[in-house]
Structure 1
């Protein structure tokens, strides 16, 4: 199924890509050092950074995945929005200012500050790569599904080619623009995305007399006429029908709320501002912008459910992820569809660029320079390795994105898996490092590797990878591997098990470590993180 005019759609895509390429080229002229490439020279204002964080956070999952989940499942789909938004309170209250005051480039700089550098940096870099790849997997699948729908492309080979093109653009942005270019692209993309969502929200409400109750009633009426009737205004449409699904919802909520504060590409944005005050300001701006956007997504999701219907959405390429484009076409025809699709495409490009630069910076700064070269590599050498790493990460993301696209998984759900990995492997170690004086290197390693390995193993042996029942509407299983498979772990999201396990392993490793903690280094970290004293010296260095 194709909607709109492919020629118009590709023209609008081309305009967005051309504009962002010009911005990237202009930004590349200011990349004179590693600090410029990794942290945009640390001269992004709090307001700008808040908008860029919103651009980083409002990914294809927020725009395409959540709208689709609400359109098909109603109440339960909106729970993604709630979890994603509440998570920012954890980031604001516990980590934003403290991480900025350390004045470093990557998450591992904080974790290794008072630990043995080599093993902790290696572990942190591996967890960063794992989270980034899961996130990239969702974005690449979203891009492939979106372009397949809008350009009338069919066949697995053609869809794979679309993902390859998106991956190539992503790599180019990172190689040329660095963090500064990525930030500017995210500023424009966030503005366009929020404006586009506002237009669709007003348009949908206008069709129902600006009466939210009428819109909800229309969505409920349409849902009862579908092949699989649902009550989209009540809970338990997706979670809660069985004991296992109730546990799955608790696991999902835990991962969403705790995951944001452990996402490496979000944490890296705190290093682009000049002061801790700007770090707080940027998070407050991000909360407001993201909160308004999720309110828009509620209207867009129920609007798609009412005006398009779950059957058409699930039958389209990209399945649930096609709800917002289908609604745009229903409202404004080819032109609005092309604009909204172009904004969604720019959204994906900006997010994957931010993820790629974070993952490549982690490898170059934490493993190449700090572990392999023992801190002797020059800034230019480090940046060159980061650019090479970007190419490798892009190639891996392209391959995984093709698999996810063919499976038709909801990209909001895929991002939730990335949140589970971040909350399991990163957040416990970050909190212990910042707030527990006795925390040791062994505790850090046990927490990172324990959370990461347990989370990945549970995902592999869950219905996400194999063994999920066939969807009666689409006729395929929502698993990456079709057939009976090897799923013995019943939950789709492993957070309920892996997150508490990571906290426990961090504690256990510490109490069993006879070497003890470095009290002086903890005192230095505490003073720097709370006051910023010493941060300026680190910036100059």
Structure 2
């Protein structure tokens, strides 16, 4: 809170509120990106998945990490050169502005909502474990408190405050995971084989060391895993709160540097989760983890309790709590910026805003509304595995955002109709397949286990929804009578590849 209030003293203009005044260096932004990315899903969800499922759980983190190469090679620098504050800036650069901005904003809100659900559910599970709250009402109260704190962060600090919170939180999280990793390895004389062997003994067999514990039982589950992997690898480059981070640096070179820093930090962290997950499996035991309040998400805190007693548990829980707060603040500012900048300023007001502070005022009101909606959604999703909920957010990002972004940046013929078909089609197909999947109904671990309206067999829709979205973008472009603006495309190509003209547009 102190950091956020200090940062807020310099938050005056829209550029300050949305992009932190573009005052962050590549390394600072890289640490903040890793803070944004290493959410409750990475820390609580993946460590839990490895503790219970072993090898299959670790594959989540591989998907999350490889995804950064797609972001680095295809998106980071081009986006920084072409846009101003949001993904809608890039997509509307050479299209009809109002319909495309509306579509981009709705897609951003959808991705943000799924991601916020995951963080809120993580908060409920974490505090349930910490305070021994087993009642749903108590956990709902905790989620409401997290939501209220997050709203204050965003209203007061804007992007500058949120970024500093991310930097501090990333440092704490990586340091905490590093200490626990050394501790676990130290107990086994720094012999990784001894740790893995012990984890296998406690689990009652080698299933945690081999593929298939979570995804190998049926042919459908194997296909489901491929679907999940595709969504994770392609989703990062379409996540609005990660894309928006590229606007907080002054140049495209710094945007590139920030991604390289993020890759190193995130890669290191996922190696720690491998040790923490198997350590929790060996020292706490999969059955104890499943039975704890918060379920699979409680593996890392329980391991901390086993290693260092209440003090270490308190520190790790505080770090996890800061993780959730920082990530939800980053998500909320992205969604509120998208609504205020794309829909209010450019669609409703058609870019004619007399009072420059009016746009920031609308962003702040939107942040409050998003906060309230995410609290209610988090209460409904409480008890779900957070890593799985985040995978759904990635599926929406990979289906609705990424095809449109890539077509806009690289395909000369791409036009407004193609963009709208791709965004709305990808969004509709993904959400429809999620609603009618075993994740929502028809199975014991579904959101509504007592209902059964699941006809789509896969829990993650990426395998179907991503190709469908690419196809719709292509068909919309080819079948429509819209003519692509070739002069605008040429300008966009030069700007995206060289950065020429980008600084002028930004200062304007």
Which TM-score tier does this pair reach, normalised by the shorter chain? Answer: over 0.9
Out of 427, 430, 433, the residue aligned to residue 455 of structure 1 is 430
- Whether 2:29 is the aligned partner of 1:49: answer yes
Q: Distance in 2 between matches of 1:488 and 1:210?
A: 48
Out of 408, 411, 416, the residue aligned to residue 386 of structure 2 is 411
Q: Distance in 1 between matches of 2:323 and 2:143?
A: 15
- Listed one character per residue, the Cα deviations across residues 348-369 of structure 1 (whole Å, up to 9, x for unaligned) are 0000000000000000000001
In the alignment, is the contact (CA less than 8 A) between 1:424 and 1:498 conserved in 2? yes
Structure 1 gap ranges (5+): 1-20, 469-476
| TM alignment of 1:6-45, pairs within 5 A | 21-45=1-25
Equivalent pairs counted in the alignment come to: 507
Q: Distance in 2 between matches of 1:396 and 1:135?
A: 13
In the alignment, is the contact (CA less than 8 A) between 1:39 and 1:105 conserved in 2? yes
- Whether 2:483 is the aligned partner of 1:516: answer yes
The 3-state SS of whatever aligns with 1:232 is: helix
Q: Distance in 1 between matches of 2:474 and 2:280?
A: 47
- Whether 2:347 is the aligned partner of 1:349: answer no
- Whether 2:405 is the aligned partner of 1:438: answer no
Q: Distance in 1 between matches of 2:317 and 2:292?
A: 15
In the alignment, is the contact (CA less than 8 A) between 1:73 and 1:230 conserved in 2? no
CA positional deviation for 1:242: 1.0
In the alignment, is the contact (CA less than 8 A) between 2:430 and 2:461 conserved in 1? yes
Point out the more displaced range, 244-253 or 144-153. Answer: 144-153
Residue 457 of structure 2 corresponds to 490
Q: Distance in 1 between matches of 2:495 and 2:489?
A: 10
Residue 298 of structure 2 corresponds to 322
| TM alignment of 1:50-449, pairs within 5 A | 50-224=30-204, 231-377=207-353, 378-405=355-382, 408-449=383-424
* Superposed structure 1 runs of 4+ greater than 6 Å apart: none
Q: Distance in 2 between matches of 1:515 and 1:384?
A: 36
In the alignment, is the contact (CA less than 8 A) between 2:40 and 2:386 conserved in 1? yes
In the alignment, is the contact (CA less than 8 A) between 1:103 and 1:536 conserved in 2? no
The 3-state SS of whatever aligns with 2:134 is: coil
CA positional deviation for 1:240: 2.0
- Listed one character per residue, the Cα deviations across residues 108-135 of structure 1 (whole Å, up to 9, x for unaligned) are 0000000001110000000000000000
CA positional deviation for 1:482: 2.1
Q: Distance in 2 between matches of 1:346 and 1:515?
A: 48
CA positional deviation for 1:209: 0.7
CA positional deviation for 1:171: 0.5
Q: Distance in 1 between matches of 2:263 and 2:334?
A: 22
CA positional deviation for 1:103: 4.1
In the alignment, is the contact (CA less than 8 A) between 2:417 and 2:482 conserved in 1? no
- Listed one character per residue, the Cα deviations across residues 261-302 of structure 1 (whole Å, up to 9, x for unaligned) are 000000000000000000000000000000000000000000
Q: Distance in 1 between matches of 2:135 and 2:46?
A: 26
CA positional deviation for 1:152: 2.1
The 3-state SS of whatever aligns with 2:29 is: helix
Residue 4 of structure 1 corresponds to none
Give the alignment's TM-score, normalised by structure 2: 0.99
Q: Distance in 2 between matches of 1:37 and 1:478?
A: 40
Q: Distance in 2 between matches of 1:454 and 1:148?
A: 35
In the alignment, is the contact (CA less than 8 A) between 1:230 and 1:237 conserved in 2? no
CA positional deviation for 1:151: 1.3
- Whether 2:444 is the aligned partner of 1:464: answer no
Q: Distance in 2 between matches of 1:38 and 1:102?
A: 16
Give the alignment's TM-score, normalised by structure 1: 0.93
Q: Distance in 1 between matches of 2:507 and 2:482?
A: 33
CA positional deviation for 1:230: 6.5
Residue 526 of structure 1 corresponds to 493
Q: Distance in 2 between matches of 1:27 and 1:144?
A: 29
In the alignment, is the contact (CA less than 8 A) between 1:40 and 1:272 conserved in 2? yes
- Whether 2:486 is the aligned partner of 1:506: answer no
